[in-house]
Amino acid sequence: MNILLVDDEQSAILALLKELDWEQFGFEQILTANSPARAREILQRESVQILLCDIEMPKENGLELLEWVLKEKISLECIFLTCYADFSYARKALSLGSVDYCLKPIHREEIENSLWKAVMRRKETESLLMESRAFQKNKAVLYRQFFMDFFSGYIAPETESIREALKERTLELSMDCLYLPVYIVPKGVDLPVRSEERSRTVRRLHDLLKEEVKKTGCFFYDIKQSDHTLMVILEAETEKASPAGKAAEELCRNFLKESEMLGSVLCYCYVGKPLALTELPEQVEQLHTMDLKNNMQDKQLRFLKFYRNEAEKQREDVEWGKLTDAPIAMAKAYIRTHIREEILVPSIAREVHLNQCYLTRIFKKKTGKSLNQYILDLKMEIAKEELRNSGKNMGEIATGLGYLNYASFSRAFTNKAGMSPLEYRKQMLDRSRE
């Protein structure tokens, strides 16, 4: 706890420092200022819990300083000192919430009593603040758990069941209000593989999401559905004219823009429409299903997509309400990033969070090639480049492309190019000499 002494007379400050036993109050710092202007500088820079301030000072008095403190929302306890027994001063000081009002010359016992009063009030204030923060944090946890139970089916989507569950948890939700869900799924080739690192990245995204949603001005409920998905529920007023819809769009745009700072992460933002509380679980399930299928089945449900990755250095614009090629782009990016390893189709499917058969089907439909063919073609392009322009031997090129032995590489290359790797290199050398 720190105290700031403010008086335009240096002798008065020195007398206070000399006469009082400051250690008994437990102050860590005793700061001094000879004017309100100097006091403001200190208050903006230092943490101060007690202000011991003279009232009569040139240009600006102590009462005006306390008014500034209140305006700036600086939390502290104030004791005023004055040479004048002016009732208007005392009344003003009390109206500003000062702890005490002492007349100069100050008696040691009197000022120490006032200081103890200020210290005790400060401790009570801090205790209440801690309890309030703990209560609010606990409330947030209770709301989060309520929605998780609600969406998991433990609470039936019926008015009476919802009211009973809220009552048991001492929570309040208006049954007349509409609620708009925003479901966010982080994906991407550069999300860490290790679970603890991935969790850390998602926690950072979660913190970023909370900061962005606060900027919308909408009241919201924060739900971290699992280790790898995020959700917020925005309160909406009416279905047709709600600021929540625009707020959700702005939230997603800002969140996706800011999430670039965390690295190459693909985030899907699925935004629902304002619905009654009883209808919310069904829509959340639709959003979840939409992510699994990565498709737009319901035109009333909007889909916001943003993609950026280091492998291709590509960025696709925000699009609304249509099927995108993001899973294909993710698969290609994963392949390019791991092209020098043995790449298995199940690994790609896990990376893009799609069923293996479904991914294989849509990849062939979009590219005209199977996944294995695409991988092989890319490996052979790199092999040809290295055979033409590098001094690597055949074994180095083979192992550098994820082949366990030269024989497997040679067989794949010969099937693709119509000649062995050795014959291809010789042919390229002969051409370069012509």
Please report the domains of the chain, with CATH numbers, ordered by start residue. Answer: 2-127 (3.40.50.2300), 178-322 (3.30.70.1130), 325-434 (1.10.10.60)
Distance CA 121, CA 147 (A): 39
pLDDT of 377 reads 93
**Among positive and negative, which fits the CA dihedral 187, 193, 366, 363?**
negative
- To the nearest 10°, report the CA torsion of 155, 156, 160, 166: 20
Distance CA 310, CA 308 (A): 7
- Residue 161 tokens, joined: 């069941």
Query: 49-91, pLDDT tens digit by residue?
Result: 999 999 888 888 888 999 999 888 888 999 988 887 676 777 7
Cβ neighbours of residue 350 closer than 8 Å, sequence gap 6 or more: none
Using alpha carbons, list the distances in angstroms from residue 302 to 249, 295, 333, 431: 10, 11, 25, 56
pLDDT band at 383 (very low <50, low <70, confident <90, very high): very high
Query: 359-375, pLDDT tens digit by residue?
Result: 788 888 888 899 999 99
**Among positive and negative, which fits the CA dihedral 368, 369, 371, 377?**
negative
Distance CA 117, CA 127 (A): 15
What's the predicted TM-score (pTM) here?
0.41
Amino acid at 223: I
50 or 124: whose pLDDT is higher? 50
Pairing of strands 2-6, 100-103: unpaired
How many Cα neighbours within 13 Å face the side chain of 252?
A: 29
- Residue 288 tokens, joined: 């979840």
| DSSP of 43-57 | HHHS--SEEEEES--
Query: 20-55, pLDDT tens digit by residue?
Result: 888 889 899 999 999 999 999 999 999 999 999 998
Q: How far apart are the first and last CA of the chain?
A: 86
209, 234 contact by CB (below 8 A): no
Distance CA 170, CA 151 (A): 19
C-beta pairs of 10-14 under 8 Å, 24+ apart in sequence: 10/34, 12/54, 12/81, 12/104
